[in-house]
Amino acid sequence: NKVRSKIFMNNYNLIMKLQAKMQDPRFAERFNRIVSEFNSIPGVQQEVMRIAQIEDERKREKALSKLPDRVKNLVREVYSLLNE
């Protein structure tokens, strides 16, 4: 249960951070472009969500490494956007 609580808090914090950053029109435009690109690749949204739920970091990194390069670049772009 501690792990689930931690994951929930991490997800909650991520959502709060995303909501705050979406107030910036430039961020929102870039983020929406990335999301649109994600959605244009069949099955990628479900796969990224599945990977995001993997608790073991090594297993998560291994799963991410199997994604197509285009998807890996989009994931990196999202991380970079969120951490600007």
Looking at per-residue pLDDT, the higher value among 3 and 73 belongs to: 73
* 72 close to 64: Cβ distance less than 8 angstroms: yes
Distance CA 10, CA 16 (A): 10
In a 10 Å sphere around its CB, with 0-12 CB exposed, 13-18 middle and 19+ buried, how is residue 78 labelled? middle
Determine the residue type at 45: Q
Looking at per-residue pLDDT, the higher value among 74 and 52 belongs to: 74
pLDDT over 70 at 5, yes or no: no
Distance CA 14, CA 11 (A): 5
Confidence at residue 4, expressed as pLDDT on a 0 to 100 scale: 52
pLDDT digits (tens, 9 = 90+) for 8-66: 556 777 788 889 999 999 999 999 999 899 889 888 888 877 887 887 878 988 988 89
